[in-house]
Amino acid sequence: MKNIITTVFIVCFVGIKCFSQSKSVEINDGIKTQAAASIQANYNEYKKIALQIWNYAEVGYKEIKSSALLQKTLSDNGFKVQMGVAEIPTAFVAMYGSGKPVIGILAEFDALPGLSQQATPEKIPVAGTDAGHGCGHHLFGTASVAAGIELKKLIDEKKIKGTIKVYGCPAEEGGSGKVYMVRAGLFNDVDAVIHWHPGNDNGVTMTSALANSSAKFRFKGLSSHAAASPDKGRSALDGVEAMDMMVNMMREHIPQETRLHYVITQGGRAPNVVPDFAEVYYYVRHPKRDIVKEIFDRVVKAANGAALGTETTTEYEIIGGTHDLLLNKTLAEVMQKNLERTGGVTYTAEEVEFAKKLQTSFVSKPPAIDSAAKVKPLKTEADAGGGSTDVGDVSYAVPTVGLRTATWVPGTPAHSWQAVACGGTDIGIKGLIVAAKVMALTAIDLYTNQTIIAKATEEFKKAKGDYQYKALLGDRKPALNYRD
Ligand SMILES: [Zn+2]
């Protein structure tokens, strides 16, 4: 009897559960179709915003107009915007709704110096300008704002419940903007964070990022006439060159996954004046943050050794520091379904012509143009990538998931004039729209199915273990002038 009752109970319980699940899928399906259609319907509006930011092309921490435009778009749509968060004038948090769950969406908007380029398939800079959106952050910020606005509409219509926070994240390119935002505790009440990045294909991120420490090493020497009295001078540039020489020799004796790179940002002004000041800007990267710390200490030793040998002095300023990216498979699987549902980017005949022309400028053989329309399968195993991102620090604060979409013609590398060119055309905007849809759809799943966040949080805690987050850039204030 007891068994029969138990069986009846199980059948009923499972039956109800199945019914409620299929019902929730049905409800979701309708909401998702509505959200995607609404984003598509606002294509021209988002295009206008993205192209405006593309034209502004403001570099890290100088994104005054770009940030203001995104803030205005959000506040015009009813978001409460807190600006100047984490002691960064261009950082903001825009909030709508109330209660749990709290879903965060990251928005970036900084450009890169030296990449000025028109929206043409040939290399033509925009006269009188220097920076360009070589990483597509104008698309990034706009798509995230679009997703946020769409979710707000659904909260208003009582189709989803909870809070949406759009994070305006400045200076991703080397400025580590999000690290200060994490350090300021701005993600403490968030259940999950969604982000994306422009790319040349469509896929959900299952590739981590390299931890990164960067610093500017400044050498001081003594000026004198380089020909008449060279013995009376000490060259700060010698200090920089001796340091670079030692670091380049060091490459043989560091783990092979390491990435070390530098640019000499100041090396004197005139050959006949012994330079009394020189500066070199270094990045040290490795998949593991502890190894980054070790190698960075060795780079500092090279700087000190160089100063000793050239009778100059040196000091350094930490500029940036980011963690590796903690992946979350639970969230990635949810996002993958929404990406497959949305699909990639298809080109018009005119866009195919643009793409063909652009591809002739690549040094390696590009993938097929129609690969922009395809969606990559989800990688079953995570791997380490070649780049770094300050999203890494966010991923140590809260379960995080991201994707990339084909905003650039297949084969286009990031940080290139070709990426800037694509970002100024409808090819880029179409990728933006795909990203906005996938992020909104993924958030809908998180708002309507509590079990996903619970499972993602469990996975997050397990991956993080007992590691106590500590920013790699220490307690320094935001490097607001790092692009000067
Ligand atoms: Zn980027």
Q: Which residues pair with 473 in a beta bridge?
A: none
Of 366, 437, 378, 434, nearest to 405 (Cα)? 434
Question: Could you give the count of Cα atoms lying within 13 Å of 274 in the half-sphere of its Cβ?
Answer: 22
> What pLDDT, on the 0 to 100 scale, is given for residue 26?
54
Ligand 1 centroid – CA 136 distance (Å) = 7
Ligand 1 centroid – CA 108 distance (Å) = 8
Of 213, 214, 223, 236, nearest to 306 (Cα)? 236
Ligand 1 centroid – CA 138 distance (Å) = 10
> What pLDDT, on the 0 to 100 scale, is given for residue 2?
41
Residues in the chain: 484
CB 115 within 8 A of CB 418: no
CB 111 within 8 A of CB 94: no
Neighbours of 14 (CB within 10 A): 10
Ligand 1 centroid – CA 44 distance (Å) = 23
CB 177 within 8 A of CB 170: yes
Residues near 220 by beta carbon (within 8 Å), at least 6 away in sequence = 236, 276, 277, 312, 313, 314
CB 151 within 8 A of CB 74: no
One-letter amino acid at 193 equals V
Ligand 1 centroid – CA 460 distance (Å) = 24
Ligand 1 centroid – CA 65 distance (Å) = 19
Ligand 1 centroid – CA 173 distance (Å) = 7
Query: Checking phi first, is residue 87 left (phi over 0); if not, alpha (psi -120 to 50) or beta?
Result: left
| Euclidean distance between CA atoms 56 and 139, whole angstroms | 13
Ligand 1 centroid – CA 261 distance (Å) = 18
Of 104, 75, 91, nearest to 164 (Cα)? 104
| Euclidean distance between CA atoms 155 and 97, whole angstroms | 7
Neighbours of 362 (CB within 10 A): 15
Backbone angles phi, psi at 442, to 5 degrees: -65, -40
| Euclidean distance between CA atoms 245 and 316, whole angstroms | 18
One-letter amino acid at 184 equals A
Ligand 1 centroid – CA 172 distance (Å) = 7
> What pLDDT, on the 0 to 100 scale, is given for residue 386?
79
Of 282, 362, 349, nearest to 314 (Cα)? 282
Ligand 1 centroid – CA 325 distance (Å) = 14
Ligand 1 centroid – CA 55 distance (Å) = 17
Per residue in 424-436, pLDDT (tens digit) is 999 999 999 999 9
Ligand 1 centroid – CA 210 distance (Å) = 14
Ligand 1 centroid – CA 178 distance (Å) = 13
Ligand 1 centroid – CA 390 distance (Å) = 10
> What pLDDT, on the 0 to 100 scale, is given for residue 17?
41
Alpha helical stretches, state H, 343-448: 349-359, 391-395, 417-423, 426-448
| Euclidean distance between CA atoms 475 and 180, whole angstroms | 9
**What 3-state DSSP class applies to 144?**
helix
Ligand 1 centroid – CA 432 distance (Å) = 14
**pTM of the complete model:** 0.89
Ligand 1 centroid – CA 339 distance (Å) = 20
**What 3-state DSSP class applies to 334?**
helix
> What pLDDT, on the 0 to 100 scale, is given for residue 404?
97
Name the burial class of residue 37, with classes exposed (0-12), middle (13-18) and buried (19+) by CB atoms within 10 angstroms of its CB: exposed
Ligand 1 centroid – CA 412 distance (Å) = 14
Q: How far is CA 70 from CA 143, 185, 204, 351, 419, in A?
A: 10, 22, 25, 28, 22
Dihedral, 303, 286, 256, 266 alpha carbons, nearest 10: -30
CB 169 within 8 A of CB 178: yes
**Radius of gyration of the chain from Cα atoms?**
25
| Euclidean distance between CA atoms 40 and 461, whole angstroms | 37
Ligand 1 centroid – CA 110 distance (Å) = 9
Name residues of the chain where pLDDT drops below 50: 1-23
One-letter amino acid at 134 equals G
Place of tokens 């009295």: 229
Apex 405 CA angle, 399 and 411, nearest 5: 130
> What pLDDT, on the 0 to 100 scale, is given for residue 405?
98
Ligand 1 centroid – CA 111 distance (Å) = 9
Ligand 1 centroid – CA 147 distance (Å) = 19
Ligand 1 centroid – CA 137 distance (Å) = 6
Place of tokens 């100024």: 424
Ligand 1 centroid – CA 31 distance (Å) = 30
Ligand 1 centroid – CA 346 distance (Å) = 23
Neighbours of 282 (CB within 10 A): 23
Q: Which residues pair with 285 in a beta bridge?
A: 212, 259
